[in-house]
Amino acid sequence: MTHRIVIVGGGAGGLELATRLGKTLGKRGKARITLIDANLTHIWKPLLHEVAAGSLNSSADELNYVAQAKWNRFEFQLGRMCGLERERKCIHLAATLDEQGQELVPARTLAYDTLVIAVGSTTNDFGTRGAAEHCIFLDTREQAERFRRRLLSHYMRAHAREDQHETLNLAIVGAGATGVELAAELHHAAHELAAYGLDSIKPENMRITLIEAGSRVLPALPERISQPVHKTLTDLGVQVLTGSAVSEVTADGLHTQDGSFVPASLKVWAAGIQAPKFLHEIDGLETNRINQLVVRSSLQTTRDDNIFAFGDCAACPQPGSDRNVPPRAQAAHQQASLLAKSLALRLEGKDLPSYRYRDYGSLISLSRFSAVGNLMGNLTGSIMLEGWLARMFYISLYRMHQMTLYGIARTVMMMIGDKLSTTTPRLKLH
């Protein structure tokens, strides 16, 4: 019987793994690879802040799972994992409903020989009162689109009233990469909207406040990166509040623990992550306090060698450190590459290699205004980048992701098509 590899989660890591395995094990008939996701299309999660601001048309940049499966010799099934039976070696998928609440795909059970869980992470609001009710998270394309529609609605209402002095207050909680990049992208969107005639809210009247509980922006990155980023945001007119923990969110704004109040009609929570709650000790698997599956260096779960986990939903140790591998896109990419080799070795009964995280640096995009980051390598050490060159390297990260999925030739054609497109506005206006 053909070995059944089931991959749950079609994010960057899960989709890259399914594509690689399809091209190798699937093509040669050595394994049957099935990818499961709750959506029909994929968009690279680091781009969601651009979707939220309207500077990226998600419909144009999405990838269809069904087509990708056909092109790369794996199968795709629509569904959301809701249960696991390790003894029977099967997973349970919940029923999928359409927009009217009618059953689109029934609940079902899917058997596996090897299970790979790559369901990513969701935003962690740390139980802050009012956050879930009044803030938008940016975990999915739908959430990013919801924010974009609300932003555009504010502009349309102001434009209809022809009020030239209306102010729009926006607050972003969390000055990590998502929060920082969103703040810069929204500032850019304000100028673009005014250029298209929606100038009842002038760019200087879109007041963006970035709130961070830590002592500086980008607390997970080196201070030599956070300092120029902070300065650029301030120069753009973004109000940056560090050392300000949010204690409560209301319809009108946010209260901080020091007694301050930040007025905001649009609020985004971009602070902290956690793995999906359904993973918490699922059928006896070991999880940590933020629901991540605890794995060994082989990326196998600690209590079941037939189940692997990687990416943001996995707590993977770093050798020689008391910290786990950071939840970053480059880590998921590295782990997907390793697992593509490991699962082939597993079918041959060979020992599995250990994963060792390699930090190749960090790049932060500040929309068209700038980019800041550092590149790290064995030969070059750490190189600080700013401005246009950093922006080019940042863009190249997405192109590398596309090359993994589409191949070099198709990615080059997509790049040419993007350059030649002159019939669409610079900002999504509907």
pLDDT at 244: 95
Q: Which tens digits make up the pLDDT trace of 244-289? A: 999 999 999 999 999 999 999 999 999 999 999 999 999 999 999 9
Q: Which tens digits make up the pLDDT trace of 42-52? A: 998 988 999 99
- CA geometry: angle 81, 85, 87, nearest 5 deg: 155
Co-location of 33 and 117 in the same domain: yes
Q: Rounded mean pLDDT of 137-143?
A: 94
Co-location of 87 and 179 in the same domain: no
How far, in Å, CA of 206 to CA of 236, rounded?
Answer: 11
Co-location of 7 and 80 in the same domain: yes
Examine residue 311 and state whether it is found in any structural domain, yes or no.
yes
**For 81-114, b where at least 16 C-beta lie within 10 A, e where not — what string?**
beebebeebbbebbebeeeeeeeeeeeeebebbb
pLDDT at 401: 79
Phi then psi dihedrals of residue 28, to 5 deg: -90, 0
Last residue of a domain, one of 235, 270, 305: 270
pLDDT at 376: 60
Which tokens in the block code for residue 34?
Answer: 């099935």
How far, in Å, CA of 106 to CA of 92, rounded?
Answer: 11
Q: 177-195 and 223-236 helices cross at what angle (nearest 10)?
A: 20
Co-location of 280 and 249 in the same domain: no
Co-location of 68 and 156 in the same domain: no
Last residue of a domain, one of 270, 285, 308: 270
Does residue 416 register a pLDDT over 80?
no
Residues of the chain by 3-state class (helix, strand, coil), percent to 5: 35, 30, 35
Q: Rounded mean pLDDT of 163-180?
A: 90
Examine residue 204 and state whether it is found in any structural domain, yes or no.
yes
Q: Assign 3 a pLDDT band (cuts: 50, 70, 90).
A: very high
DSSP 23: I
Q: Is the overall model pTM greater than 0.75, yes or no?
A: yes
Name which of 30-44, 192-206, 395-409 the model is least confident about.
395-409
pLDDT at 100: 85
Examine residue 365 and state whether it is found in any structural domain, yes or no.
yes
Co-location of 110 and 49 in the same domain: yes
Other CB atoms within 10 A of residue 345 CB: 12
Residue whose entry in the numeric block shows the structure tokens 């009044």: 134
Does residue 378 register a pLDDT over 60?
no
Q: Give how far the C-alpha of residue 52 lies from the chain's centroid of Cα atoms, to the nearest Å.
A: 13
Co-location of 101 and 141 in the same domain: no
Co-location of 168 and 264 in the same domain: yes
Phi then psi dihedrals of residue 60, to 5 deg: -80, -30
Report the DSSP pairing between strands 75-78 and 31-37.
parallel
- Is residue 204 within 8 A of residue 187, CB to CB? The reply is no
Examine residue 353 and state whether it is found in any structural domain, yes or no.
no
Examine residue 98 and state whether it is found in any structural domain, yes or no.
yes
Q: Assign 387 a pLDDT band (cuts: 50, 70, 90).
A: low
User: In total, how many domains does the chain have?
Assistant: 3
How far, in Å, CA of 169 to CA of 23, rounded?
Answer: 49
Q: Rounded mean pLDDT of 71-92?
A: 97
Q: Assign 404 a pLDDT band (cuts: 50, 70, 90).
A: confident
pLDDT at 426: 66
Name which of 55-64, 171-180, 244-253 the model is least confident about.
55-64
CATH number at residue 194: 3.50.50.60
Q: Assign 386 a pLDDT band (cuts: 50, 70, 90).
A: low
Alpha helices by DSSP H, 237-351? 329-347
Q: Rounded mean pLDDT of 160-183?
A: 89
Examine residue 426 and state whether it is found in any structural domain, yes or no.
no
Residue whose entry in the numeric block shows the structure tokens 């087509």: 67
DSSP 355: P
**More confident site: 116 or 318:** 116
Last residue of a domain, one of 270, 286, 312: 270
pLDDT at 212: 97
Co-location of 391 and 307 in the same domain: no
Map residue 206 onto helix, strand or coil.
Answer: strand
Map residue 388 onto helix, strand or coil.
Answer: helix
Co-location of 28 and 113 in the same domain: yes
pLDDT at 380: 47
With a pLDDT cut of 90, the percent of the chain lying above it is 70
Name which of 12-26, 108-122, 208-222, 371-385 the model is least confident about.
371-385
Amino acid at the residue 84: L
Does residue 379 register a pLDDT over 50?
no
Co-location of 101 and 137 in the same domain: no
pLDDT at 160: 87
Does residue 112 register a pLDDT over 80?
yes
Examine residue 216 and state whether it is found in any structural domain, yes or no.
yes
DSSP 238: -
Examine residue 355 and state whether it is found in any structural domain, yes or no.
no
pLDDT at 354: 95
Strand ranges (E), 214-344? 239-242, 246-249, 253-256, 261-263, 266-269, 273-274, 293-294, 300-301, 304-309, 314-315
Q: What is the mean pLDDT of the chain?
A: 90
Does residue 25 register a pLDDT over 90?
yes
**More confident site: 380 or 131:** 131
Domain hosting 85: range is 3-121+275-347
Co-location of 255 and 299 in the same domain: no
